[in-house]
Structure 1
């Protein structure tokens, strides 16, 4: 049936729409050719991750000099810790005063402490070599995990694998690539200082399945639970490069881990760009920035160009916090004398400035500590008026017959009375650095 009304007749413009579209397309394409002709389409270099740090500069390093009388006394107090806590049976050292458990990290601290005590004249070379040889022999006889790598913790008396609570375990709890890297840095220093120990060092390393430590140049750690081993990438900026640098000294391919630029993300603290990491921690919190790895790299290896800039920024932020708030600040990882007994004092961590984080990511800023080892470490590296204030503030934390306490709580000024291998080793390392430079480069 036909409609009573007729449909409107299409306009000529509508009928010609396909021709117009074709002409406009040709004109647009021609315009695009002329526009592109003025643009450089050659491959672009990736953005420079160090660009946010372009306005930063390394700080001048403190000149080397003979330790003062007070510094020599400080070193003697630190060495007392090792005299008290090295097992006469094995030559390994307790991680915490009178707690007979150790890790590969503390074993590295032990070796550094012996070498630094020797450099400072606290022990003679013959004693240093005897102590080192005994420790190396014990390390070579450690039972290993199924992966062929050292467990995360051992009893220093029996050399049995243990949990972090020093409870024996047949299978172990896993291995830490960063901890093993810390030990390898010390082993390199030991064989450099005592060439007669090069053979035992190489024999020790040859007994481990080092291939399990790395994958495509990245550090690989492992966790053993319920009879299962789970391997995972380990290390964040600072710690990762420090451990990788140590492994490279033993001809291991840790090049990907050594490259700081792959995951570098600036974090703004006190108006300064700080070296953050794009990856999350295992508890799904943003990675932390703390003093520890930068101090170790400077005191042991000496800084390369990028590390010199990034370490200086970590230090500057802490000085800037003092300037703004009046709180003397020297934060790093360390033991606490109250539960949960270990925390990371950060410049930036978990997404916040100046967070204090437990191992599970819980924030507990009331336990921020002005760290003894960070005070001595930064003072040895930079020797500023501010670092002198830090050291002066911890001077009364020396216990003559036991060693140095961990630090002082910011909240009320009370001491963190924990006394550990790591803090006392760094006090020794720092004072020895003052004498003749980084552990790897010190004149003999």
Structure 2
């Protein structure tokens, strides 16, 4: 059968209704025309919609209903509503004329994984809302098309194919030339069209624009909803007359979106995964039969995969699936498909068997779905649902197999050992497969290839999957026992405290930011940012909490600090300055929001401390902090101007510091409210990828200082998983953070990019020199951050974080606290060089460990 003949027949199907869009002038049309009825929602008047849809159906004109799942008041479709019943009935009587397309407003702006999720959810919502569960699907699938708003520079739409979608209609607000974009895995995005009334549509029907091969006529239900029925009926009738006249003349071809790729000769193909079930418990005769059948498949050049049976028995309600590796670094490794079961798959996403499979490495769980109305694509638990067209359990004819496989949708075909027990059965199945193979659009492949095709590459998905795998693996890792480490931790605390005890100025109570010490002298950087002061206050709190100082000493020390940071005038506002001289209490001009909000966090802890007092609240109240919030976004003041600090990795920590004092501060991480929701995890990763690499600070500080920070909870898990993975692969410690160096450029920001898998580790400096961006510079200056090591031990108890702390203990202890960091290349610490932040944060982390453990 020729490709064109097959495709036209496949799409038309069997119906008693005229289908002139495919029968008339197939070879001579000039403009493929799609009639799109948009803005259909629960608010749409049934009478008017019925007039339009029955009018189009009666004249055999194919059309697409773009359906918004919610009404103006948020009310969703209900399957028992008159509107839903009408649409459902129309779909039954005219399956080849009417196509439904859920509307997903910002689909073109969504990153790939979230596109897949939104498409899968929209599909399920529309099936449930319209009551399509029991409606026979068209060619094996309810929806091939989704609609969205037209935007410039849309994100590639590859991922929607996982939910069975092959077409996207990007609908404009005003008339726009129609263009087409094809993704590499066969998803067509039609962009543009004319938004018109039925009367206006008559004028644009034959309109031919240069290089425009499709015409989208978009008629809004909200536009015809207010028309009297008689007027609307006449308008629809005139439009149908004009459309059919142009089609008969060969000017246009009326087609539904489902067939536009086929009619456009885009090289349309659909994927069929061929998968042979194997049962190692069968007798020798059946094992021999399976071996013979495999050789027949190979002889006939069929690509196929094998695996244990994952279909449940009739008396078993549990669903079963496979685990597929998606590790970009092991593409050549054999794909592992391990059988495991999900109990109540719609309700539970963290079942023990799924966790066991995930622990094998980055991958995705796959479930075969034989019900057309079941989930398709990626569900909220991160599992991939694919359509099972048929499980061949007995010998089958070619016609029956072709019918079961549908015509244009991606499907999986499985073969059970029972179908191939004898020679006759094996030959019958091979003949049936050959009949299917003859279809011009069908591409047979392994289940592995099928999964890879519909789960395309995504910048943050590997990071997400690695984190999931690490979480699963850590469930079986014994946690360190802090009770055995109390003596060592107290000794560490004394070491860190020695910096503060030795270097605190007796009058101001402040400490220098860094110190370079030799045998007979010390070179101190006698200024401090408000970040440094925040670390000092937290160190004082830790010291009194674990008994290094008594309450009276504590009060005396923090009272001096509070008196020293009363503030200065910045643009007429009373605020903490950007830096302070630790000896003379002189302020440097400007205001730094990051540093001050770090200070606010520590002051909030001090205000709530049993040995704190009201002077803390009075101090904070005296500052004009409300003036640094513009539209809820925190600003610094530089050279007399307010500068937004919103799009940074510090913004969320800053927002928490402001919120602690009652200010309404916004954060780019506010898209996450629950770290356990997979969609929110992915959304946060995409957001972080837009901003910058992440290091231990400030997210681990959030975990130390605030009771609830879902973004920090998840991002710390991401970074820890990446560090552990890199350590296991290289044997080198990975513990990136910001911090001082003992040589030029003196300070670096070392981090991890969530959207890079192969070499995601970064280093940045304040000077931003080209020489600082080389691999050599990174290798020479890659360090283990001493403070980060202790923060990891406090927030993520694990043998790896314990090893980091032991490494710092062994190498970085100095007469004035812990050295700032340890160079990975040489194994040596920053020589004779340490800082306030390192030792203050180490004290804070140790106090957290000791107080939480109760030892």
RMSD: 3.6
User: What's the CA shift string for 1:31-63, capped at 9, x where partnerless?
Assistant: 335766633448689858998548735978977
Equivalent residue, structure 2, for 1:151: 577
Question: Contact (CA 8 Å) 2:750, 2:761: kept in 1 or not?
Answer: yes
CA distance in 2, matches of 1:76, 1:193: 21
Question: Contact (CA 8 Å) 1:75, 1:428: kept in 2 or not?
Answer: yes
Match of 1:312 among 697, 717, 720: 717
Equivalent residue, structure 2, for 1:204: 619
Question: Contact (CA 8 Å) 1:370, 1:410: kept in 2 or not?
Answer: yes
2:644 maps to 1:232: yes
- 1:412 counterpart SS class: coil
How far did 1:235 drift? 5.2
Indicate the structure whose relative CO is greater, using CA pairs within 8 Å and at least 6 residues apart: 1
Change (3 A) 1:304 1:125: same
Equivalent residue, structure 2, for 1:103: 529
Higher strand residue share:
2
Question: Contact (CA 8 Å) 2:693, 2:753: kept in 1 or not?
Answer: yes
Q: Once structures 1 and 2 are overlaid, which stretch shifts more, 404-413 or 355-364?
A: 355-364
Change (3 A) 1:117 1:214: same
Question: Contact (CA 8 Å) 2:702, 2:709: kept in 1 or not?
Answer: no
Equivalent residue, structure 1, for 2:553: 127
Q: Once structures 1 and 2 are overlaid, which stretch shifts more, 101-110 or 341-350?
A: 341-350
TM-score by structure 2 length?
0.42
Equivalent residue, structure 2, for 1:222: 637
TM-score by structure 1 length?
0.78
Equivalent residue, structure 1, for 2:765: 358
The structure whose Rg is larger is 2
How far did 1:401 drift? 3.2
CA distance in 2, matches of 1:399, 1:44: 53
- 2:726 counterpart SS class: helix
Match of 2:844 among 421, 429, 433: 429
2:554 maps to 1:139: no
CA distance in 2, matches of 1:317, 1:400: 30
Change (3 A) 1:276 1:95: farther
Equivalent residue, structure 1, for 2:489: 71
User: What's the CA shift string for 1:369-406, capped at 9, x where partnerless?
Assistant: 11111111111222211112211211134545311101
How far did 1:135 drift? 0.8
User: What's the CA shift string for 1:75-115, capped at 9, x where partnerless?
Assistant: 00101111122111111221112221001100100010000
Equivalent residue, structure 1, for 2:596: 180
How far did 1:424 drift? 0.3
Change (3 A) 1:381 1:350: closer
User: What's the CA shift string for 1:214-236, capped at 9, x where partnerless?
Assistant: 22222212212xxx435223452
Equivalent residue, structure 2, for 1:253: 664
Change (3 A) 1:191 1:381: same
Match of 1:341 among 737, 746, 763: 746
Change (3 A) 1:36 1:427: farther
2:807 maps to 1:393: yes
Change (3 A) 1:153 1:66: farther
CA distance in 2, matches of 1:137, 1:127: 16
Equivalent residue, structure 1, for 2:63: 31
- 1:259 counterpart SS class: helix
Question: Contact (CA 8 Å) 2:545, 2:847: kept in 1 or not?
Answer: yes
Change (3 A) 1:308 1:24: closer
Change (3 A) 1:399 1:32: closer
Q: Once structures 1 and 2 are overlaid, which stretch shifts more, 304-313 or 116-125?
A: 304-313
Change (3 A) 1:31 1:181: same
- 1:220 counterpart SS class: strand
How far did 1:317 drift? 0.4
Provide structure 2 residue ranges, at least 5 long, that are not aligned to the other structure: 1-27, 36-55, 66-90, 92-96, 119-379, 383-460, 516-523, 674-683
How far did 1:156 drift? 0.9
CA distance in 2, matches of 1:36, 1:86: 78
CA distance in 2, matches of 1:92, 1:66: 35
2:174 maps to 1:112: no
Equivalent residue, structure 2, for 1:407: 821
Question: Contact (CA 8 Å) 2:496, 2:842: kept in 1 or not?
Answer: yes
User: What's the CA shift string for 1:252-296, capped at 9, x where partnerless?
Assistant: 01134561559xxxxxxxxxx96762545xxxxxx2211111221
How far did 1:196 drift? 4.7
CA distance in 1, matches of 2:659, 2:558: 22
User: What's the CA shift string for 1:95-148, capped at 9, x where partnerless?
Assistant: 1122210011001000100000111100011211221122111111x3232243
Equivalent residue, structure 2, for 1:6: none
CA distance in 1, matches of 2:536, 2:98: 64
Q: Once structures 1 and 2 are overlaid, which stretch shifts more, 347-356 or 106-115?
A: 347-356
User: What's the CA shift string for 1:182-210, capped at 9, x where partnerless?
Assistant: 1111001001114652x212221122211
Change (3 A) 1:378 1:213: same
How far did 1:414 drift? 2.0
Provide structure 1 residue ranges, at least 5 long, that are not aligned to the other structure: 1-16, 163-171, 263-272, 281-286
Q: Once structures 1 and 2 are overlaid, which stretch shifts more, 389-398 or 121-130?
A: 389-398
Equivalent residue, structure 1, for 2:453: none
- 1:222 counterpart SS class: strand
